[in-house]
Structures are given as structure tokens and as C-alpha cells.
């Protein structure tokens, strides 16, 4: 017997709508701030804690902060305000070489 005989027909439109609602909608708690910053990579214009390259580990929505960790030393982490990470004089999106 084949497995397909046991599976009910799948409504692709329903599945697509369901996945969009679960993953991309703010109705289920997703926040654009969360999805925009989580796991994003940043370069500090000036060294912080001895390093320049960081990644967002956690988004603290209520505090409007990001928890960053140093890519080269995962023991180093700190929180910063989201406003600060948007300041291009302090932070550059992505991992860039700064001489």
C-alpha cells in the first residue's frame, strides 16, 4: 500500500494562508522589530569590549533593547537601545572591515 492513500487531500491555499498568519502576521505576536533585528549582524565603529563584530541574540521588545554578543567571543554580551543601533555613527549593518 502506498502512503498517499492515507493522506487527506491538502488545500495549498489554506496551508499558505495558515503559514503566513503563523509566521508573518502581528496577530500571533510577531513583531516587525523582532523579525527585523533578530540574528542580524552589526559592526561597531569603535571597538566595544575589545571587538567590533556583533550579532543580535535577543530582542527585548518591552525595553526597546537588543542583546548583542561578540562573534569572536560569545561570552561577551550586552544590551543596547534600539535607537543606538540605528545610529550610523556608532553601528554599521553587517560585518565590515574598518581600518
Q: Range with the lowest mean pLDDT among 30-39, 54-63, 65-74?
A: 30-39
pLDDT band at 99 (very low <50, low <70, confident <90, very high): confident
Question: Residues near 27 by Cβ (< 8 Å), separated by ≥ 6?
Answer: 21
Query: Which phi and psi angles does 81 have, rounded to 5°?
Result: -70, 145
Rounded to 5°, the CA angle 36-38-41 comes to 90
CA distance 52 to 96: 9
pLDDT at 98: 86
Q: Model confidence over 6-57: pLDDT tens digits?
A: 545 555 454 444 444 444 433 344 456 677 999 999 999 999 999 999 999 9
- Each as own residue / partner, the long-range contacts of residues 25-32 (CB below 8 Å, 24 or more positions apart, any chain) are 31/59, 31/61
pLDDT at 35: 75
CA distance 62 to 98: 33
- Residue with cell string 496551508: 15
| Mean pLDDT, residues 56-64 | 96
| Mean pLDDT, residues 62-84 | 97
pLDDT at 3 over 80: no
Amino acid at each position: 500500500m502506498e502512503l498517499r492513500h492515507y493522506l487527506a487531500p491538502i488545500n495549498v491555499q489554506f496551508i499558505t494562508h495558515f503559514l503566513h498568519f503563523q509566521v508573518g502576521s502581528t496577530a500571533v505576536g510577531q513583531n516587525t522589530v523582532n523579525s527585523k533585528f533578530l540574528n542580524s549582524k552589526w559592526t561597531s565603529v569603535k571597538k566595544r569590549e575589545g571587538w567590533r563584530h556583533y550579532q543580535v541574540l535577543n530582542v527585548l521588545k518591552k525595553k526597546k533593547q537588543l542583546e548583542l554578543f561578540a562573534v569572536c567571543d560569545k561570552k561577551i554580551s550586552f544590551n543596547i537601545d534600539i535607537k543606538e543601533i540605528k545610529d550610523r555613527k556608532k553601528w554599521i549593518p553587517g560585518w565590515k572591515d574598518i581600518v
